[in-house]
Amino acid sequence: MKVKQRMKCAFLAAGLALASGTTTAEVLGPGRSMLTGERLYASTKDYYATLEPDGDLVILHKDGRRIWSTGTHGRGAVKATMQRNGKFVLTTNTGRTVWQTPTRGRHRVFGVGVGGTAMVINARKWKPRDKAAEPHVEAMLARRARLEWQSPTLKVMVQQQREAEAQAAEQRARSERTRRRARP
- CATH C-level class of 3-151: mainly beta
pLDDT (tens digit, 9 = 90+) per residue, 46-99? 999 999 999 999 999 999 999 999 999 999 999 999 999 999 999 999 999 999
Q: Where do the structural domains in the chain lie, given as residue ranges?
A: 3-151, 152-184
Query: What's residue 113's pLDDT?
Result: 92
d(CA 143, CA 145) in angstroms, rounded, equals: 6
Ranges in the chain, pLDDT < 50: 3, 6-7, 9-25
Query: What's residue 173's pLDDT?
Result: 92
Query: What's residue 151's pLDDT?
Result: 92
Query: What's residue 128's pLDDT?
Result: 66
Query: What's residue 85's pLDDT?
Result: 97
Nearest in space to 112 (alpha carbons), one of 7, 14, 6, 178: 14
Cα dihedral: 156, 104, 99, 34 (round 10): -100
